[in-house]
Structures are given as C-alpha cells and as structure tokens.
Amino acid sequence: MTAIKFGTSGWRGLLAEDFTFANVRLVCQAIANYLRQAGLGSQGVMVGYDTRFLSESFAAAAVEVMAANGVASFLTTRDVPTPVVTFAIIHGHRDGGINFTASHNPAPYNGLKFSPAWGGPAPTPVTNAIEAAIQGITYNDVKILPMAEARSQGLVTDIDPREDYFLDLATKIDIGLLKKAGIKVVVDPIYGTGRGYLDRFLRDAGVTVETLHDQRDPYFGGHQPEPSEVILAELQERVKASGANLGLAVDGDADRFGVVDSQGDYHEANEILALLLDYLVETRGWKDGVARSVATTHLIDRVAAYHGLPVYETPVGFKYLGDFILKNQVTMVGEESEGFSMKGHLPEKDGILADLLVAEMVARKGQDLPQLRDQLFARVGPVYSRRVNLRLTNEAKERLLARLPTPPAQIAGLTVAQHVTIDGHKYILEDGSWLCLRPSGTEPVVRLYLEAHSPEALEKLRRAGEALAREI
C-alpha cells in the first residue's frame, strides 16, 4: 500500500488496491482524532457520497467510525453533489463533512474528501494534521460502532439537503427571466450526482429540458466522468438534432461544468469563466475583484482590467480560491478545470450554479455563446487557451521537473519574459502568451497549459511546449 496522501481535493486511490474499507476506516479514525484534538465534533459531521462503486457502503463505514468516537453523522439519503455537501455543512452548522467521491477521475478510482466547518476543501495545515494522525495509528486503533447501534443511540440522522439547496439557488438565479425566455436545454449529468439537480431546477424554472444519462452507472458509460469536449460528443449531437439553445453538463460529483452552444460546439471553461465574470459585473453590479488559479486564462485579467477590478492569482486547487469567497473579497473565483463560485455562494466549486448562470446569460442576452464571445473579444482582445495531459514515464517526468526551474531563453521563437513558480512552472512570453507545466495532484500525468492570441500561435506554442516536456 502506498502512503495515504491528500492532494488538491482529498485522498483518492484505486478501488481494492489503495482505496479499501480498512484504509477508509483508518482515515476516518484519523479525522475523528483530529476533530477531538481541535475541540470539535459536538455539532456532528455531514457524510455524503457519489455514484461510484461502493460509495454508499464507504459512507456507512465512515458513519460507524464517527459514531464509535462519539461524533454524530448526518448521512445523505442518496448520492449527492459535492457543492450540496458543502451547502449542508454550512447551513447545518456542522463541524465538517466527509464526502466519498473521486470527482472526474476514471471509474476504478474512489476518494474521500474532508471539509472543515466552513465547507470548502480542507487547507494544507488541516490535511497535514490528518495525515500525521494516520501515521500515528494502526488498523487495530480503529473504533467501529455497528450502524444499527449507532442509529439506536441517535448518532445517525438521514438527510436530504436538495430542497434547501434549491431555495438558496433561487436567490441567486433570475428564475423569472428563465420562465419568460422560453429556452430549451439538453442536460447531461454523465450518470453522476447531478441527476435530479441541474435538470430538475431548470424544469421548475420553466425551461424545456431533455436529460441524457440520468441513471446511475458506476462505469459512467465507459468514459471518464469529466465534462470535456471528447466526453460530451453525444450531448453535442443531441443539442444540434433537437434545436436546443444550450447543452449543459456536470462531472461525476457535479462540482465542474461543461457547456455546448446551439450549434453543438463545446466551449472551454476558460472562455465561460471570462464571460461569467463580465456578466456578473454587468447584471449584479459587483465591483469586487476576481481570483483565479495560476493555470487559468488571462482573459479573466483582461475582463477585470476592463471593469477596473483587481486580480488575485493562486496555486491550483479550490482550497486556495474558496478563502476569497469566505472573506467576501471577490465577485467570483475560477479555475480552468471547470471550477466556479461567486460572491455570496459557497467556498467550493459548483458546476450546477455555473451552468444555471450560463442559461440565465443566454436567456437574457438572446444570443448564442459564439456571439457573446466575439463581443467580449471585441472589447478586450482575443485569447485562446488549451490544456494538454502528458503521460510521461516516471523517469521522463523526474527529468522534466529537474529542468523546469531553469527556464529556456526562448519558447516558440519568443523570449521568456517572466517565470512564475507559485505552482508548477509558468513561463510568460514577451507577447503575453504563456505556458505552464505542473504535475497533476489527482492523476498520473503532467499538465501542459497554454495560452496565445490566435489559434495559429496557440498551436505553435503547443508544439514547442510538448517538445520541451518530452526533451525533443
């Protein structure tokens, strides 16, 4: 067994290899020890799960460990989106939450995510404390109170937070506008926890909705449950065939978003984030700043400059962005990996909210996404982005990481003007284009992020970036 480590969004591992019941119980015992040492636990913890293999059984195991340690659990009655777990932690005033999900990772994975009382992903000091607690115990130290006894002692409460979450969303989305607009949307929850959430809210708001893949499938149709262009091919075709205004998707735990326009064309998250920032400033009148990760588009910076807003750059991971929401410092936060939240919402990414705002934006503007993008480019200038996942051998990966601290003089014929090391290695070039290389915190890949001012320049930069990574 490899050491249990928490990445940018919890601990993830291969089922039956690393992610086993014994290891889950060990981690939950460490969380219980952490809560006790921090003087927490009297308000109980939320326990949720996604649609992966055995997720509800892992959740039950967590409840039994918590109960044996005197910590009450509020257990969801079905698989539930990650943002809804966060909502229930905050609005239920719990001392934290345990969520079994591997988000967009392939089907053989599962994961455990701990969120403190403020609801966002646990920051590094908290995950470090939990990892230290894991190292200090053995399997024999794990306490277990069988579910039947835990229930008889009042240490388990079943909970369905969906309706309260919907009531909160209704204060943040212009439902009246959606009702009047008469738009049609195709929704794809990719067999995940978004079933009965995104589609149901839109229907209740008077939108005509067609739903794809709205049954539970732990294999996610044989694909990775990520709302990327290649995965959403069926959604793209269905939008075109049905004459819908939009296609909207969420990933396996509904914290990431995916957007398809009326012509069936997929729109990158970077573009959607910039459009949403512009839209929120225009319609909500918010003049706070914006926070984005180091690997996220500078198109956001251009929109912020247009509106006179400050930009805050963070390492990759929503645990760094959520703090800006908690402190009410920003209009919105965003990550290129389909992560979004906004002022007054959750310190966690919410793909459902992002999709609903896109629907509201299209309904209000009466225009398709390409037109809205072109209008934005006309005001702030064009920016094109791409992310490439590079699968390298361990040896090649180590050689690359050893080379990156010394930036090359030029990339793609352009001088490297700035070297940013906030997370990975980001080389900003003389014309403002850039590339960033960093190892993934959740997958065995090195990510190459690219941005340029034209599709041709982006392709040239991609070739140069891959050559750099592969030592060509």
> Using 50, 70 and 90 to split pLDDT, how confident is the model at 3?
confident
What was the pLDDT predicted at 253? 97
d(CA 228, CA 69) in angstroms, rounded, equals 41
Structure-derived torsion over alpha carbons of residues 400, 404, 409, 414, reported in degrees to the nearest 10: 80
> Using 50, 70 and 90 to split pLDDT, how confident is the model at 40?
very high
Residue with tokens 């959607």: 272
Q: What is the pLDDT of residues 276-299, one digit of tens each?
A: 999 999 999 999 999 999 999 999
Q: How far from 305 is each of 274, 300, 308, 311, CA to CA, in Å?
A: 12, 9, 5, 9
What was the pLDDT predicted at 8? 73
Q: What share of the chain is helix, strand, coil (3-state, %, to 5)?
A: 40, 25, 40
Mean pLDDT in residue range 379-390: 94
pLDDT higher than threshold 80 for residue 72:
yes
| Full set of structural domains in the chain with CATH | 11-160 (3.40.120.10), 384-469 (3.30.310.50)
pLDDT higher than threshold 90 for residue 397:
no
Looking only at the bridges linking them, the beta strands covering 434-439 and 425-429 are antiparallel
Mean pLDDT in residue range 353-379: 97
> Using 50, 70 and 90 to split pLDDT, how confident is the model at 308?
very high
What was the pLDDT predicted at 472? 61
> Using 50, 70 and 90 to split pLDDT, how confident is the model at 468?
very high
> Using 50, 70 and 90 to split pLDDT, how confident is the model at 393?
confident
pLDDT higher than threshold 80 for residue 1:
no
Task: Look over the chain and give the mean of its residue pLDDT values, rounded to a whole number.
Answer: 95
Which of 164-178, 237-251, 367-381, 436-450 shows the lowest mean pLDDT across its residues?
436-450
d(CA 178, CA 187) in angstroms, rounded, equals 15
pLDDT higher than threshold 90 for residue 321:
yes
Bigger pLDDT: 332 or 400? 332
Mean pLDDT in residue range 209-236: 96
State phi, psi for 377 to the nearest 5 degrees.
-60, -35
Read off the DSSP letter of residue 4: P
Closest by CA to 411, choosing from 372, 345, 460, 464, is 464
What's the token pair of residue 287? Answer: 């003049």
d(CA 97, CA 94) in angstroms, rounded, equals 8
What was the pLDDT predicted at 422? 95
What was the pLDDT predicted at 443? 66
pLDDT higher than threshold 70 for residue 406:
yes
